Homo-oligomer: A and B are copies of this chain.
Amino acid sequence: MEHLEIERKFLVVSEAYKKDATSETRIVQGFLNTAPERTVRVRIKGNKGYLTIKGKGNESGTTRFEWEKEISFKDATNLIDLCEPGILEKIRFEVPAGEHLFEIDEFLGENEGLVVAEVELQNEDERFDKPDWLGDEVTGQIKYYNSQLTKKPFINW
């Protein structure tokens, strides 16, 4: 499945989102390529595996080409072994707010302390509710790309 992914990314300034979370899933992921022009990600989410390929964002960083396929847990485990050094671990919370669903990633390991929220939109100008726990926008800032967090983790910022 392939589409243009339109999303905006924000820092998270409090843990208040946790009381509204409808799910909490552990994610382990690595990259077969971290170049922003052709990111290749292997992800284990709960007991499922995914392979995801993304292109470079547009100028505002809102829109990226994204292709994703579910793969077996076993394949994902084997492919993570081939990934570049720097496997990411995080806990993902899904938090509905108004008409939208926020995905909040609480990073672990060398990125502990970093918490970001993403909301997927239908078009670039779509409005959405901003919960109190939502902080500054960081959409399109490459250092917040997960592919970059493997190389320059939050602990070194």
Contact = CB atoms under 8 A, between A and B. Distances in A.
Interface of A: 2, 32-33, 37-38, 40, 51, 53, 55, 65, 67, 69, 71, 74-75, 78-79, 82-84
Contacts of A69: 51, 69, 71
Nearest to A78: B2
Q: Is the interface of A mostly helix, strand, loop or mixed?
A: strand
Contact of A37 (B2, B74, B79, B82): B82
A81 to B, nearest CB: 8
Nearest to A37: B82
Given A33-B33, A53-B32, A65 B82 contact: yes
B2 A84 contact: no
Nearest 6 pairs between A and B by C-beta?
Answer: A33-B33, A38-B82, A32-B38, A55-B82, A32-B40, A40-B40
